[in-house]
A = this chain, B = another copy of it.
Amino acid sequence: MSYTNLNEAIARLDEIEATVSAYSHAMGVLNLDASTAAPLGAAEGRGKTMAVLSGVVYNLAASDDTRELVAYLSEHMEELDANHRRQVEIQKKSCEQLVRIPQEEYIAYNVLLNKAEGIWRVAKIENNFAAFAPVLEKIVAFNRKFAGYYDPDKAPYDALLNEYEEGLSMQTLDGFFAELRRVIVPLIRAVGEKPQPDTGFLEQSFPIEEQKAFAKYLMDVIGLDPNYCTITESEHPFTCGFNCHDVRITTHYHEYNPTFAMYSTIHEGGHALYELGVDESYNGTCLSGGASMSIHESQSRFYENIIGRSREFIELIFPKMQEVFPRQLQGVTAEDLYRAVNKAQPSLVRTESDELTYAMHVMVRYEVEKQLIGGTLEVKDVPAEWNRLYKEYLGVDVPSDTLGCLQDSHWSGGAIGYFPSYALGSAYGAQMKHVCESELGPIAPFIAKGDIAAITAWLREHIHRFGNFKKPAAIFEDACGKFDPKYFADYLTEKYSAIYGL
């Protein structure tokens, strides 16, 4: 149909948004189930169902009707309210992209991703990169092709980066990472010359049932209401938000490494608080959920590191932790734990790495992806290049692909161009802390008295509530002014100089 009546067109837009939201919700629950509860045998049936559902969404988004609707509304932007204006802007962009992706490729890609998760999971367990390589090759090929659909004028990897963070480019990242390397590399070296804190007390058995109870306590401390957010288990922790009343986080419990579940819970909890803080009126539209991966990561890492690894937070939670693990923490002080969870040391696994060396792990992935998508690295050579970069950036030898290039689920999920957001998010978070403190005063006293809600309220007001209503760069800049990596560099320098007595 062609549109002539504005109210009718708006009503149709609302209907499309509600429909797409419903399908996204259903596919999201299928994915959540796949990672948390489904048996392996479920993959084939799920693949077929995903093909049907994603086909419907594709057809709807790429239909003449939707195109005409978006074209009509684009010509009436002035007459729309702000929410609808932003919806049209987003739909227009995604329409233009989708129309360029042939439907059979779109469906085939979704079918591939559905299988990829299971194959990656087994390959990781079995340290068998060769089993995952053919799938990764296809995922890379799809992404290179899609990059051309997304934006044929950009270098393919820039086009992919742009999918996760509008406006982000290799040029920006090369500069940002160079600046980080300039500050962090000497800091890591200086820290390495100092005696390391004792972490031996964390390397005993912490029974999983008790870790689960402690994770629930941590969720409560940071302000996650169990009526709106639940936690389950998966291979790799993640957050999945369906609307601002229904967000799920997952973790993975390691009996001999209690801080893994502890900090993954706070990290994913940060993602969850963000999604739970989005304006309720955006539910069921493309304005719900987070603005971008880097804004998301700024929140998760804010809660994980800036709050969760602060001395005041450790002092806050330590009595409960001693109550849950009395035997394991006998004779341990809050200060011992504070130093242990802030131990900075080059290591192999990104999700277990410390706040200081973390960005180095991200840089490895960035370099590998840049070359894979740029066509200068073949999938079969990924393990060697991965291991070479770990040696170069972190000085460590990678003993297996399980602990190397198979460690993350991102590539099996098709997320190429996502990793840089982690480092950018950390840097955003440090600048947010600076601005927040210039308004509220130091956050440490709030943490000390358990008033995380006061900090969340500031983040909600300046970041969370906007959801996808503003562009990520606008959200950040409206809240914090122009981005400057120096806040992150200063934060790390100050924190680690104090801890290690530099």
Contacts and interface: CB of A to CB of B under 8 A. Distances in A.
Interface centre among A19, A32, A52, A209 (most CB of B within 10 A): A52
A39 B227 contact: yes
Interface stretch (A108-116, A240-248, A347-355, A446-454): A240-248
Interface in A1-49: 18-19, 21-23, 25-27, 29-30, 32-33, 36-42, 44-46, 48-49
A118 to B, nearest CB: 11
Given A230-B38, A230-B39, A45 B25 contact: yes
Contacts of A48: 18, 21-22, 284
For chain A, which range describes its interface: under 10, 10 to 19, 20 to 34, or 35 or more residues?
35 or more
A91 interface: no
A345 interface: no
Interface of A: 18-19, 21-23, 25-27, 29-30, 32-33, 36-42, 44-46, 48-49, 51-53, 56, 209, 225-230, 232, 242-243, 245-246, 248, 283-284
SS class of chain A's interface: helix, strand, loop or mixed? helix
A246 B36 contact: no
A42 B28 CA distance: 13
A248 to B, nearest CB: 7
Contacts of A229: 39
A135 to B, nearest CB: 19
Contact of A41 (B33, B39, B227): B227
A150 to B, nearest CB: 28
A248 B42 CA distance: 10
A349 B437 CA distance: 58
A45 B242 contact: yes
Contacts of A38: 230, 246, 248
A230 B37 contact: yes
A229 B26 CA distance: 21
A49 B22 contact: yes
A43 B53 CA distance: 21
Contacts of A44: 245
A228 B26 CA distance: 21
Given A29-B30, A33-B32, A39 B232 contact: no
B25 A49 contact: yes
Contact of A283 (B23, B45, B226, B246): B45
Given A44-B245, A243-B45, A30 B39 contact: no
A498 B26 CA distance: 53
Given A30-B29, A39-B228, A22 B246 contact: no
A42 B240 CA distance: 12
B284 A39 contact: no
Given A22-B52, A29-B29, A44-B245, A39 B226 contact: yes
A427 B26 CA distance: 39
